[in-house]
Amino acid sequence: MATENKNLSEYDKTTIPSAKNFRFGIVVSEWNDTITEGLFKGAYTALLDNGVDPNNILRWDVPGSYELIFGCKKMQEKDVDAVIAIGSVIQGETKHFDFVCEGVSQGIKDLNILHDIPVIFCVLTDNNLQQAIDRSGGKHGNKGTEAAIAAIKMAVLNKL
């Protein structure tokens, strides 16, 4: 397991570029909201911790993870330097999980190829609820924090 023995919330602040003058969009799925709210809190806190003005963080909610693609596409048009897509898909008894995970990952990949504003993939694709809890503020830390750090780094890279 990739996150075993790794806390997703840990980063060396001295290695993170200043995010003071950047604007970030965060698109959050309402589905599995206990998980996505935890991820949002991790991302939001990390952005603030790295100098982002709260007024420079724009949040939109969408119904589910599949809708993140359209939400992120529209967010790219809103004068932001990077977008974070936050969602949670938990394995069920049908193939729906596979179709949603594949569609969302490919859709976000496409946004990164087609547009000049980076979109960070912060969609948990877990086998069960406990795995999602562990990665949204639980024993493995918070993937939202990791996504915010990636967003800062990609916003800086995009300005080069």
Which CATH number do you get for residue 134?
3.40.50.960
Place of tokens 């750090």: 149
Condensed to tens digits (0 to 9), the pLDDT of residues 27-67 reads 999 999 999 999 999 999 999 999 999 999 999 999 999 99
Taking CA 47 as the corner, what is the angle to CA 60 and CA 64, rounded to the nearest 5 degrees?
30
Active site amino acids: 96
Domain that holds residue 61: 21-158
> How many CB atoms lie under 10 A from the CB of residue 103?
14
The answer, as to whether pTM is greater than 0.75, is yes
pLDDT bracket for residue 1 (50, 70, 90): very low
Residue 71 has pLDDT above 80, yes or no: yes
Averaged pLDDT score across all residues of the chain: 95
Instruction: Report how many domains make up the chain.
Output: 1
Judge whether 15 lies within some domain.
no
Rounded Cα gap, residues 84 and 122, in angstroms: 7
Strands 82-90, 57-62: pairing kind: unpaired
